[in-house]
Amino acid sequence: MKIISSPRLLQKEIIRLKKKGKVIGFVPTMGYFHEGHLSLIRRAREDCDIVVVSIFVNPLQFGPKEDLKGYPRNIKKDISLCRNYADILFCPNVKAMYPDDFLTEVKVGRLGDILCGVSRPGHFKGVSTVVNKLFNIVLPDKAYFGQKDAQQAAIIKKMACDLNMPVEIQVLPIVREYDGLAMSSRNVYLSYTERKEAVVLYKSLILAKDLIKDGVVDCAKVIARMRSYILKTKSAKIDYIRIIEPKTLVAIKKIKREALVLLAVFIGKTRLIDNILIKR
């Protein structure tokens, strides 16, 4: 596995590989790998000739009071976890990605201002800007994202479509811990008790799924039941619970066909997200 930190050198290397007809698979990450990341990297390995993984904790997607400084990092461990699957690990520094005179940003319109965008203003502008840059450097044929960040995945798909990007966006299922908690690098922030309580997100989604299966189609009723279930947990503070149409992210009132139930909940000081796709 080659480790490259210069965007220009990586782009040159990719152009050389593409001239040889290689299919490039790309997994953008912020590092601190868990099974969720590894499932994306393994899938890219199955699908593509060349697998590029990036590790870049993107300052543009963190708000001023968020955890940019403390975001978990362990580059040595990440290298050992991905070296058997990736051909190239791209680890640029902040100056290389955002030189002092950097100006251009990618705005995602209404999709970025709802759901997580309400409590994290500017977050999705930061995500789409960096993903756009990374796509221009890596020139991937396929790029892999996790369903846990459902809003991010929808925004990136829309950006790729709207801006005619020649890349296929693959969204892979959520990988869960033994008790159902969605894997996330931020789970490391949880105390022992909070970790046990954090499973409430998953359990509330299963409650929603069961209610819908039993014929409750009124979204307000489903959300109310989830809300009262979650609030029994001491450390939980709900940011939002929504039921939406999966592609457009528009809230729905009655569940007819496919619906995405998603939520963001603070467990202590840690904000966690999760979701479940319901098919009727």
Catalogue the active-site residues: 37
Place of tokens 């109310």: 224
Q: State how beta strands 2-4 and 142-146 pair.
A: unpaired
Instruction: Please give the size of the binding site for ligand PAF, defined by CB under 6 A.
Output: 10
Q: Are 136 and 165 in contact (CB under 8 A)?
A: no
Please identify, using beta-carbon distances, which residue of 148 and 278 lies nearer to ligand PAF. 148
Rounded to 5°, the CA angle 178-180-185 comes to 85
Does the footprint of ligand PAF cover residue 184 (CB under 6 A)?
Answer: no
Does the footprint of ligand PAF cover residue 149 (CB under 6 A)?
Answer: yes
**What binding mask, one character per residue, do residues 115-144 give for ligand PAF by CB under 6 A, x or -?**
------------x--xx-------------
Please identify, using beta-carbon distances, which residue of 28 and 112 lies nearer to ligand PAF. 28
In the complex, minimum distance from the CB of residue 120 to ligand PAF, in angstroms, rounded to a whole number: 11
In the complex, minimum distance from the CB of residue 45 to ligand PAF, in angstroms, rounded to a whole number: 18
In the complex, minimum distance from the CB of residue 218 to ligand PAF, in angstroms, rounded to a whole number: 33
187: left (phi over 0), alpha (psi -120 to 50) or beta: alpha
Q: Which of residues 12-71 bind ligand PAF (CB under 6 A)?
A: 28-30, 58, 61
Please identify, using beta-carbon distances, which residue of 262 and 278 lies nearer to ligand PAF. 262
Name residues whose C-beta falls within 8 Å of residue 222's C-beta, 6 or more positions apart in sequence: 208, 211, 212, 216, 243, 255, 261
Compute the distance between CA of residue 33 and CA of residue 188 in angstroms, rounded to an integer.
Answer: 12
**What binding mask, one character per residue, do residues 231-250 give for ligand PAF by CB under 6 A, x or -?**
--------------------
In the complex, minimum distance from the CB of residue 129 to ligand PAF, in angstroms, rounded to a whole number: 9
Compute the distance between CA of residue 41 and CA of residue 27 in angstroms, rounded to an integer.
Answer: 6
Q: Are 141 and 48 in contact (CB under 8 A)?
A: yes
The contact set with ligand PAF (CB under 6 A) reads: 28-30, 58, 61, 127, 130-131, 149, 152
